[in-house]
Amino acid sequence: MKKFFVSLSLAFMSLAFAQEMKHSVQPKETIYGISKKYGVTQQQLKNANPFLNSRGLQVGDVLVIPSKNNAKTDVLEVQETVLVQDSEDENFYYIVIKPKESVYRLAKKYKVSQETINSLNPFIKERGLQVGDVVRVPKKDSPSVTSSKPTVEGLYHVKAGDTVYSIAQANGVSEADIYAANKKVQVEGLRAGSYIRIPDTHTANKVTIEKNWFKYKVGKNETVFSILAKYDITLEELLENNPDLKDLQPGMVILVPVQKGANIKTYAEVSNQKESVKSVQAEKDGEINLALMLPFYLNAPEHYTGERKVAQDFYKGARVALDELIKSGKKINIKIVDAQNDPAILSSFYNSPEIDKYDAIIGPFYQDMLEFTAQRLEKKGIPVFSPVVSSDRLSAYSNMYMATPRDEHAADILVAEIVKKYRGEKIKILTTKEEQKIADYLSAELADNLKKANIEIVYSPDNLALVEEKKSVQSNNGGVAEVIKFQPEIAILASENNWLGNQFVKTITSQSPEDITGFSLYFVTALDVFDASNARNVEALKKIGFTYTSSRMINSYGANEKRILQAFEDKYCEKPTKYMAIGYDVVYDVVDRMDKNGKITDAKRSETRLSSKFGYDKAENGKAKINKEIRVIRLN
């Protein structure tokens, strides 16, 4: 194992520079490279330019370069040498950066992606690699997942809808543990697609937050190096906040600095705010009062672009719906709240006196925030509509309405369709790693209903190709001849990915229609029977008796649908996107079920809107109501 030494310089007095030299920072330059160019140490360069101690190097910075003579005498230094060397644990390599090292070389050497390394070591994007940096590299690259568990122990790929609270709960750690281990999360919050660190559960829950520090209780066998790696801090930062630190001992409490500009609010802090809860009824004023809780993130315009686009599209659809409803004579007052993903914003609104006048809340979009909302408003009797999320957790609240049918419900319906046609064929389910959970559910349900079925989950359309087999048959002259037959197959699409859906349709329709039958759990563009450009696909699918389920699809030939689509064209000069259609459907359906005073009169009534059907029934194993309207489209 190669060893590397990092020196910490504690300056006691500075002397004036006899002569100043300046350097303008160029792209790709580093502190190490500049210090080497001028023959000074990195610490001497930082001493001459104190701002480098608070932020990374930036293109255009003008640096003061100490002269070589003064560089040797300008600071009286006491050297404290700490041994830092390459090391590893069960899941990670900890690499001390040497000259000429790069992220590309590390990624190639350890066979992981550069994105993974950058996400695990956020300082790289801020200032680049520098000699002496300690970089964490996973022992295997981490795929995207849909659960709240780490992809490998200590590393989690954030997805839309995650909160610090939900990730902490799923992994048996505290919110403080996650905040302390992820500097960027303290300031920016979670960002979908990024990787965050999950503390070791054996040493977790030893962190508490107090003013400007995290207080951390040192565990057995921990070292200075392991703490630097765990909390992504430098040795200078550790000693600056713990000046009396000389030797680590188990049970010792050390201070880890909270990042400047941090915005840390735990779920418990917000939930414990005082509130006055009483059963209320909105005023019978002949008007409908709605609040839309959408994640616009107006205070962070450079971040959360995906979430903000969803909110904007949903709002566009809602506006078209409101225009239609007002024309029909409904009197509607609407309040838009930029809920972001912040329980503090929600709590402020729910604690305000005006909350009692609202007849329904639509949103938020995230499960934790929906649960928080339903919990706070349940005793007030205010209905909460979840536009997208449907889950067992939300089923516990009597005021919750889940507008999107559960994938599992659609799978149950599709299984019943498959059972009708099953004749002993091999069953192949095409899905993605991100949608593995529903594919597993579908496979298990098929296995329960078809006891001897041969079922396989695949991830490439190529795996759906029919398998040839040779069979002996008796010829007309009494002899025996060998012929090539195909093994019969049922191919099922369990993915909402339009590209994969298109490849799925191409693959199954290019094979012998006598030997393959197709199904899909989702609607994808290649299955759109109302799109004239899709006629060839539809005809080919009819030949194999294709069947699919759908919770959302637009009948572009319907008179009412044509009128609504034209309204989108007139208002926005475009056809509705997926979330525009959802915004229209949910808002129109909620208001249409209300009387003039905002009371929901008939939740069970089945109605078809622009792209969705709605009809709310009681959720299994819960008190909530859920939309169970699923369309079954059979192409014969």
In order of 462, 490, 522, 523, 584, the CA distances from 536 in angstroms are 21, 21, 20, 17, 31
Q: What CA–CA distance (Å, rounded) separates 526 from 539?
A: 12
Instruction: Give the per-residue pLDDT at 583.
Output: 96
pTM > 0.85: yes or no: no
Instruction: Give the number of other Cβ atoms within 10 Å of residue 32's Cβ.
Output: 20
Which pair of tokens denotes residue 419?
């059972």
pLDDT band at 486 (very low <50, low <70, confident <90, very high): confident
Q: What is the mean pLDDT of residues 100-108?
A: 84
Q: What CA–CA distance (Å, rounded) separates 109 from 507?
A: 37
Instruction: Give the per-residue pLDDT at 277.
Output: 39
Q: Which CATH class is domain 282-402?
A: alpha beta
pLDDT at position 75 over 50: no
pLDDT at position 280 over 50: no
Q: What CA–CA distance (Å, rounded) separates 349 from 364?
A: 13
Q: What is the mean pLDDT of residues 610-622?
A: 91
Per CATH, which fold does 1-85 belong to?
Answer: Membrane-bound Lytic Murein Transglycosylase D; Chain A (3.10.350)
In order of 33, 85, 297, 314, the CA distances from 610 in angstroms are 61, 62, 28, 14
**Using CA atoms in the order 362, 367, 371, 372, what is the torsion angle rounded to 10 degrees?**
-90
How many percent of the chain have pLDDT more than 90? 39
Instruction: Give the per-residue pLDDT at 451.
Output: 86
Describe the crossing of helices 164-171 and 367-377 by its angle, rounded to 10 degrees: 100
pLDDT in tens, 503-527: 999 999 999 899 999 999 999 989 9
pLDDT at position 556 over 80: yes
Q: What CA–CA distance (Å, rounded) separates 138 from 116?
A: 8
Instruction: Give the per-residue pLDDT at 562.
Output: 92
* 282-402 and 1-85 share a CATH fold: no
Which pair of tokens denotes residue 414?
């599709």
The number of residues making up the chain comes to 636
In order of 366, 445, 494, the CA distances from 408 in angstroms are 20, 10, 11
pLDDT band at 1 (very low <50, low <70, confident <90, very high): very low
Among 76-80, 168-172, 297-301, 458-462, the range of highest mean pLDDT: 458-462
Domain ranges of the chain: 1-85, 282-402, 407-550
Q: What is the mean pLDDT of residues 363-388?
A: 93
Q: Determine the CATH number of domain 407-550.
A: 3.40.50
How many percent of the chain have pLDDT more than 70? 85
Mean pLDDT for all residues in the chain: 82
Q: What is the mean pLDDT of residues 21-48?
A: 78
Which pair of tokens denotes residue 145?
């997942």
Count Cα neighbours of 592 within 13 Å in the Cβ-side half-sphere.
Answer: 22
pLDDT at position 388 over 80: yes
8-state DSSP, 152? B
pLDDT at position 303 over 60: yes
pLDDT in tens, 220-241: 878 887 788 778 787 777 887 8
pLDDT at position 33 over 70: yes
Instruction: Give the per-residue pLDDT at 73.
Output: 35
pLDDT at position 201 over 80: no
